[in-house]
Structure 1
Amino acid sequence: MKQSWRESKSAFLAVLLVVTILLVGLHYRARRNGRASAPEQVVYFILRPFQISFSRFGGRVTDRWESLRRLQTLEDENRILRQRVERLDAKNKRLRIYEKENKRLRALLKLGPSEPPERIAAEIISQSASNWLHRVRINRGAIDGVAPKSVVFTDKGVVGQVLTVSRSTSLVLLITDPDAGVGGMLQRSRAVGAVKGTGGDLCEMTYLGAKVDVREGDTVITSHLGEVFPKGITIGQVVSVRKARHYSSLEALIQPAVDMYRLEEVFVLNKGQ
C-alpha cells in the first residue's frame, strides 16, 4: 500500500516537473518572439474581468472622494460668502439709519420761526409711561441754556414746551397733553382760537366764532396771542368741525403735524437768549 502511494507520488511529481519545464520553455520562446505566452494569456483572460471591476470600483471611489472634497470646498466658500453678506447687510442697515437721521437733522436745520432765537438741538431720552400724560424728556438742560417754557419743535411743527429743567435734562409737555395749551390760528381764514390737548392723539381748537370759516383740511399755525410760542409754526390740520356745547361757537379737532409717538430729535427755542 505504501509502495503504491509512493509510486503515485513520484509519477505526479514527474508529470509536474515535465509540465513546468514545458511551461517555462513556452514562456521563454514567447518572450523571444515578443509575445505573451499561452499560460500568461490564460491567466490574463481569467483575471481580466476582475481587473476591470476593480478598476471601475477604484474610479468610482476616486470620483466620490473628489466630489466630497469639492462639496466641502463649496460649503466653506458658501459659509464665507454668507458671513460677508451678513456683515454687508448689517453695515447697510447702519448706513440707512444714519441716512434717515441725517435727513431728519437737515430738515430740522432748515426750519425756523420769523424771529431768529437760539435753537438747541436735543434728543428724546424717555417718554411718559402714562397714556393720559403726554410728556417726554430730552437730553438738554440748564447747562445747555434750556429754560422753562422754552418752545420745542421739529421740522414738521410744534411739539410742546419745556415744563421743568434740571442740570442736564428737561421735561417737555407735549401739545397733546390735557394740561397743554397754545394760541392757534387758521392759516386760510386767519381766525384765532385756543388749541388744547385731549390726552389722546388729537388736539382741540376752541373759542372759534359760530360764523368762522373753518373746514376739514385747514392748516392751523401758532398765533400772535400768548407769551410762549412764536407766530407761524405749524400745529396741525383740522380733521373735523362741530358746534360747541352751547352752540355759541365752533370747535375743531386737529391732527398734530408731528407724530408724538415717533419723536427722536427736536429743537428747543430760547427767545430770551
Structure 2
Amino acid sequence: MLNLLTRYRHISLFLLFLFISMTLLSLHQSPETLIKPSNIMERGMLLILEPFQSMVTAVTMQFQRIWDGYIALIQLSEENQRLREEIQQLRAEKNRYIEDALAYERLKGTVDLVETRQFSTILARVIGIDASNHSHTILVNRGSDDGVQESWPVITLDGIVGVTASVAKRSSKILLMTDPNCNVAALIQRTRDQGIVGGLGRKDAYTMKYVNRRALIREGGIYRLTDQSLAQLLNEEIPGFRLTDQVFEQLRQNAIPEDILVILEELKDQSFPHHKAFIKALEDILGKEQAEWYTPFIVQYAQTDVLMTLRQLKDQDFSTKTDFLKALETTIGQETAQKYQQSILKHAEEEETVISSGLGGIFPKGLLVGTVSKVGKQDYGLFQDIEVTPSVDFSKLEEVLIIRRDEQDTTVFTTP
C-alpha cells in the first residue's frame, strides 16, 4: 500500500487536498446558507462528506460540552467558596450579637445600681486570672490612662469583688475578696452587728471576725412571708384579685363614687392571674387617668383567693423548707400549694445577709458581701466567728466596675 501511494503520489496528494478543501468548504456553511444542490456532482460530494461532517460536528459539540462543564465547575467552586466565607462571617456576626446581648443582660442591673447609688465608676473587662493558690487576683483592661488608682473598690451587681492592688498604664491588678489580705468592714443587715470580713484563700467562703458574742446571728436561712414578699407576690402568676359583692360594699364605705362602681360591675367576679393583669383591666374600663386615681383603693380591697389567704402566714418564721411547705398546704390547700410553691418560695426565703458598713473609707456602705452560712460561738471570749458565703461567683467574672475615689467623687461614700 505504501509502495502504491509512493508510485502515485501526485494523484494521492491531489485527492487529499481536494478532500480537505471540500471538507473545509462544507464546515463553513450553515444549514440556513446551504444552496440546494443543482447537479449530481454536488450531491455526490455532500453524500460522501456527510458522515465525516457529522463525526466532526459530534466531536466538536462534545468538546464544547466538556469545556463548558469545566468552566461551569470552576464558577461553581468559586461560588461555593464565596458562600462558605459568607456563612463564616454570618456565624461570627451572630455570635457577636449573642455575646452583646448577654453582656447587656449582665450589665443592665449594674447600670441600675450605679444610677441608684450615684456611683462614679469605670467599667473594666477581665483579661486575666491568677491561676496560683497563693494569691487571688485578676487583671482588667483599665489602668492609669483611664484614671484608675490603687486601693479603689471593685464591684459587680452581685456585690464586692475586691480592690485595685497595682495599676499600670492600660491595665490593673485586682486583689479579690477571697485573698486573706483583703478585708472589708461589714455588718449583719438584720441585726446591725458589725465585724470585719476577710478572705480564707477559698473562693466559696469568707470569715467574719470580731462580731459580738452575744449577737443572735442566724445560721443559714429561714422562710417567712413579710409585707415586702407579699407585695412581690402580686406580680407572680397567682390568683389574687376579684371584685365581689363584699369588695363593692367596702368600696362604697370608702366613698368611691357610684358611677365608678357601676362601670366596675363589668369586671365583677372575674379572676385575674396577677397584679398587672388586674391593673390593665382597670385602665381599659376606667381610663388611665381615673384608674391611676382609684387603683390603690380598689387593689387594697380586691385582694382575694390565694394572695389573701397567704396573709395568714405573715411574719411567721419557719426554720426549714419542709416546715414552711407544710404550713403552706394547711393554709391554702395541698393542690394549690403544689401549683404555686415555686413562686412563693422565691419570695419567702430569707438569709442572714452581710453588707459593707462604710467604715474605713474604702467601700461605700450597703454593698452586698454575702450570706451567713455558719456560726461558730464558743463558751468563752468576746467574739464569735462567722463563715460567710460570697455573693459573687468569682469563676464567672467577665466585667467589673471600679468605683472612683478621687476628689471629684467624694459624694460616692455618703450613705444613700
Per the normalisation by structure 2, the TM-score is 0.44
Q: Which amino acid aligns with 1:159?
A: V
SS at the partner of 2:179? coil
Which ranges of structure 2 fall in alignment gaps of 5 or more residues?
1-36, 222-349, 411-416
- Give the 3 Å change call, closer, same or farther, for CA 254–59 of structure 1 in structure 2: same
Residues 1:213 and 2:218 are matched in the alignment? yes
Cα deviation for residue 197 of structure 1 reads 1.2
Matching residue's letter, 2:135: L
Q: CA deviation at 1:202?
A: 1.7
Deviation at 1:93, TM superposition (A): 4.6
Identity of aligned residues (%): 23
- CA distance in 1 between counterparts of 2:116 and 2:100 reads 30
Q: Distance in 1 between matches of 2:65 and 2:161?
A: 72
What SS does the corresponding residue of 1:267 show, helix, strand or coil?
A: strand
The answer on whether the counterparts of 1:113 and 1:231 sit within 8 Å (CA) in structure 2 is no
Distance 1:144 1:92, change over 3 A: same
> Does the 8 Å contact 2:160/2:368 carry over to 1?
yes
State whether residues 187 and 218 of structure 1, in contact with CA within 8 Å, keep that contact through their aligned partners in structure 2.
no
1:234 aligns with 2:368: yes
Q: Output the CA distance in 2 between the equivalents of 1:116 and 1:169.
A: 25
The residue type paired with residue 68 of structure 1 is Y
Q: 1:244 aligns with which of 376, 380, 388?
A: 376
Q: Which moved more, 1:138-147 or 1:219-228?
A: 138-147
Is residue 154–residue 400 contact of structure 2 (8 Å, CA) maintained in 1? Answer: no
What letter corresponds to residue 213 of structure 1 in structure 2?
R
Match for 1:267: what amino acid?
I
Match of 2:387, SS state, is: strand
The one-character-per-residue Cα deviations of 1:7-46 (angstroms, maximum 9, x if unpaired) are xxxxxxxxxxxxxxxxxxxxxxxxxxx7774x87777667
**Partner amino acid, structure 2, of 1:108:** T
Aligned residue among 152, 155, 166 for 1:153? 155
What amino acid is the match of 2:355? T
Q: Which amino acid aligns with 2:366?
A: G
Structure with more contact order per residue of length (Cα contacts < 8 Å, sep ≥ 6):
2
Pick the aligned partner of 2:402 from 238, 263, 267: 267
Distance 1:183 1:57 in 2: 94
**Distance in 1 (alpha carbons) for counterparts of 2:107 and 2:405:** 19
Query: Which runs of structure 2 are paired with 1:28-39 in the superposition (5 Å)?
Result: 37=40
1:65 deviation in Å?
1.6
Cα separation, 2, equivalents of 1:87 and 1:125: 25
- The one-letter amino acid of 2:64's match is T
- Work out which of the residue numbers 140, 143, 155 in structure 2 matches 1:140: 143
Q: Is 1:182–1:194's contact at 8 Å kept on the other side of the alignment?
A: yes
Equivalent in the alignment of 2:357? 224
CA deviation after TM superposition for structure 1 residue 169, in Å: 6.2
Closer, same or farther: CA 42–158 of 1 in aligned 2, 3 Å = same
CA distances 1:90-146 after superposition (whole Å, capped 9, x unpaired): 455555555555555554332249764543444556544532211235533499373
Structure with the larger strand share:
1
Q: What secondary structure, in the 3-state scheme, does the structure 2 residue paired with 1:69 have?
A: helix
AA partner of residue 376 (structure 2): A
Instruction: Work out which of the two has the higher radius of gyration on C-alpha atoms and give 1 or 2.
Output: 1
CA distance in 2, matches of 1:166, 1:70: 59
Indicate how the Cα distance of structure 1 residues 52 and 126 shifts in structure 2: closer, same or farther if over 3 A, else same.
closer
Q: Which residue of 1 aligns with 2:16?
A: none
Distance 1:211 1:53 in 2: 108
Change (3 A) 1:80 1:142: closer
- Between the aligned partners of 1:113 and 1:223, the Cα distance in structure 2 is 19
Q: 1:257 matched to which residue of 2?
A: 392
More helix by share: 2
Give the aligned partner of residue 62 of structure 2: 60
CA offset at residue 220 of structure 1? 3.3
Q: Deviations over 1:153-202 (max 9, x none)?
A: 12332111234567876543210112222244455666655432121222
Between stretches 130-139 and 243-252, larger displacement belongs to: 243-252
The answer as to whether partners of 1:157 and 1:235 remain within 8 angstroms in 2 is: yes
Opposite residue 364 of structure 2, the aligned amino acid is P
Unaligned runs of 5+ in 1: 1-33
**Contact residue 152 and residue 160 of structure 1 kept, 8 A:** yes
User: Whole-Å Cα distance in 1 between the matches of residues 83 and 39 of structure 2?
Assistant: 59
Q: Which moved more, 1:102-111 or 1:163-172?
A: 163-172
Q: Is the 8 A contact 1:122 1:140 kept in 2?
A: no
- Decide which of 161, 164, 171 is 1:162's aligned counterpart: 164
Secondary structure at the aligned position of 2:149 is classed as coil
- Partners in 2 of 1:103 and 1:120 — Cα distance? 18
Distance 1:202 1:41, change over 3 A: same
Contact between 2:219 and 2:375, CA under 8 Å: does it hold in 1?
no
Q: Is the 8 A contact 2:158 2:391 kept in 1?
A: no
Number of aligned pairs? 237
Secondary structure of the structure 1 residue equivalent to 2:59: helix
Aligned ranges 1:89-100 → 2 under 5 Å: 89-94=91-96, 96-97=98-99
Question: Contact 1:193–1:205 (CA<8 Å) still a contact in 2?
Answer: no
Measured at CA, do residues 101 and 49 of structure 1 come closer, stay the same or move farther in structure 2, by a change above 3 Å? same
